Amino acid sequence: MEPRIPVGYDRLRQAFARDVPADANIGVACAEVQPCDSLALIEVRPDGTVRDYTFGDLTTLSNRLANGLAGIGVGTGDRVGIVLPQRAETGIAHLAVYKLGAIAVPLSGLFGPEALTTRLGDCAARVVITDAAALENVATVAGELDIEVVVAEDVVVAPHRRFSDLLGADDFSAATTGPDTPALLIYTSGTTGPPKGALHGHRVLYGHLPGFELMYDFFPQGDDRVWTPADWAWIGGLMDALLPTWFHGQTVVAAPRKGFDPQWAAGVLASQRVTAAFLPPTALKIMRGVDPRLLQGLALRSVMSGGEPLGAPMLQWAREHFGAIVNEIYGQTEANLIVGNCATSWEVRPGSMGRPYPGHDVAVLGEDGVPLPPGKEGEIALRLPDPVAFLEYWGKPDATAQKTRNGWLWTGDIGRVDDDGWLWFSARADDVITSAGYRIGPGEIEACLTGHPAVAMAAVIGVPDEIRGQAIKAFIQPAPGHAPTPDLETDLRSHVRRQLATYEYPRDIEFVDHLPMTTTGKIRRNVLRERERADTEAERHLGL
């Protein structure tokens, strides 16, 4: 394939023409239309062995799984949980579910029983596909919710089913689906109440393509290989790496691992000759500590990052050691990859999230919904309709209406646009914490903490962290009869790790006599953030 010639931003926008087919189906578009013998997936397993899959393999295996799922009653519109790490079965499960006309519900294997119950119960999932590592938590929840469990490993205890045993015939006729047919349900955290499920149609793949192609500097170029350490359970791993790469007939590298190790990451990049990588800001920051010799001779031509601004020093380090400019992007679960950079076509301004990608109309709005002039701060919003935007919040019409009003999708993030059209992020309008690339809602953690018998009330905020962007801090009001002790701190951290996820536990815990509240009984997290900021400034002033 000949490399495409980069062109300037204005010409790209003027020449852009949206192409979303009337019979859109992600499962068909990401496998069946590709050359059967082309390499689709390189699976680097934890034991070091490697297995390759062609697009012909993906087509056959996803057809067989679709037949198997249909045989146990999964049909159009049914929800199928996918609690799997980066591995072949994960991608195959997604393709099969889309071909069925069902709805994929990707979930992190780090989730504990409480987090799984909230999400699987909310969407009334019919089946969950998981692995041995997550089976205990999944099985507990599935038993309570009457969900059938399919396990990717061969050693399975009844009544669960083996993935391999479920595989049926090779041929399968994909369901008739269109752009707005529900396909993907990804849960995103907010500041209050339980997590909300952002429901996307099959059009979401096509909505991602303009940004995907530009953030990797005119993807595809030759025989590209794409890898990210980001979990495919999140919109970033799924739509910034896996599915659009397959849509373009290129190769994805899967390398599952618990935790991020910079030497391991450098090894994956080098050994698999990765040409395009999505490396979250936390991963990039950690990789600065790796021996530079491990980064020599990489095949990287393009790197993308997103979630928090990297800053000029980090961008310069990456350019020197990767030999590629990092294109930062902006998006969220409800509308991902709407703003970003393409270093081969326009200037990358350190600290800026970039410019609206072709096909997306992004503005900074005032409270009246009118776009603000350059330099004025307001809420970043996406003009609707747009195929990358979600259809609705699952079962929450009021929340959907609040998010999508007056012809705009309101992101909840505050920013400004400069005189030249570059967008700059300022702050979050809500209380969502961004830590190590994860968007974390404090409400879920607070609910988990208050479920501990030693906690009367809890409030959670994000505090600055050099590596993670933000770290989670919890303010705990102990229950009567319980005293604040180091042992209690340890127990509370373990409690959150067990019940929710390892990345959601509070690294800092402060015990307080009472928490600031509104007259209606809501925690005033903004007061806690201001108090924390003031304490930090005072310590800096005193040289502490």
pLDDT averaged per 10 residues in sequence order, the chain, 544 residues = 65 93 98 96 94 98 98 97 98 98 96 95 98 94 96 84 96 98 88 80 98 97 96 95 98 92 95 96 87 94 88 89 94 96 93 95 96 95 98 97 97 93 84 82 84 91 90 94 95 94 93 79 82 75 56
State the alpha helices, DSSP H only, in 353-471.
Answer: 397-403, 442-450
Q: What is the pLDDT of residue 434?
A: 84
Residue that has been written with the tokens 């395009």 in this structure = 276
Q: For position 534, what pLDDT does the model report?
A: 83
Q: From CA 47, how far away is CA 139, in angstroms rounded?
A: 26
Q: Cα(225)–Cα(96) distance, rounded to whole angstroms?
A: 23
Alpha-carbon distance 437 to 236, whole Å?
9
Q: Which CATH architecture has domain 25-198?
A: 3-Layer(aba) Sandwich (3.40)
C-alpha to C-alpha distances, 32 to 98, 135, 140, 298, 502, nearest whole angstrom: 12, 31, 36, 31, 37
User: Rounded distance, CA 166 to CA 148, Å?
Assistant: 12
Could you count the other beta carbons within 10 Å of the beta carbon of residue 15? 9
CB-CB contact of 94 with 27 (8 Å): yes
Which residue reads 């019919």 in tokens? 126
The 3-state DSSP class for residue 197 equals strand
Alpha carbon separation from 199 to 60, 215, 334, 454 (Å, rounded): 27, 24, 8, 37
302-306 and 276-278: which strand pairing?
parallel
Tokens of 217: 């500097």
Closest CA to 69 of 81, 55, 56, 83: 81
pLDDT at position 2, please? 45
Name beta bridge partners: 326.
303
CATH 3.40.50.12780 spans which residues of the chain?
25-198
Kindly report, as residue ranges, where domains of CATH 3.30.300.30 are found in the chain.
Answer: 433-541
Assess contact for 106 and 93: CB atoms under 8 A: no
Does residue 461 contact residue 535 with C-beta atoms inside 8 Å? no
- What lies within 8 Å, CB to CB, of 319 at 6+ separation is 325, 326
Task: Calculate the dihedral angle through the C-alpha atoms of 51, 57, 58, 61, rounding to the nearest 10 degrees.
Answer: -110
Residue type at 26 in one-letter notation: I
Homologous superfamily, domain 433-541 = ANL, C-terminal domain (3.30.300.30)
Question: What pLDDT is attached to residue 542?
Answer: 58
CA distances from 3 to 38, 209, 275, 348 (A): 18, 17, 13, 21
Helix (H) or strand (E) holding 79: strand 79-83
Long-range contact set of residues 21-25: C-beta below 8 Å, sequence gap at least 24: 21/179, 21/206, 22/178, 22/179, 23/176, 23/177, 23/178, 24/177, 24/178, 24/179, 24/181, 24/201, 24/202, 24/203, 24/205, 24/206, 25/98, 25/99, 25/174, 25/175, 25/177, 25/202
How far is the C-alpha of 323 from the C-alpha of 301, rounded, in Å? 7
Sequence-ordered list of residues with C-beta below 8 angstroms from that of 487, at least 6 positions apart, any chain: none
> Position of tokens 């979050």?
428
3-state secondary structure of 165: helix
The single-letter code of the amino acid at 104 is: A
| DSSP E strand stretches across 156-287 | 161-162, 182-188, 196-201, 225-227, 251-254, 276-278
Residue 308's pLDDT is: 75
Cα(158)–Cα(135) distance, rounded to whole angstroms? 12
User: Is residue 81 within 8 Å of residue 66, measured between CB atoms?
Assistant: no
Q: How far apart are CA 373 and CA 258, in angstroms?
A: 45
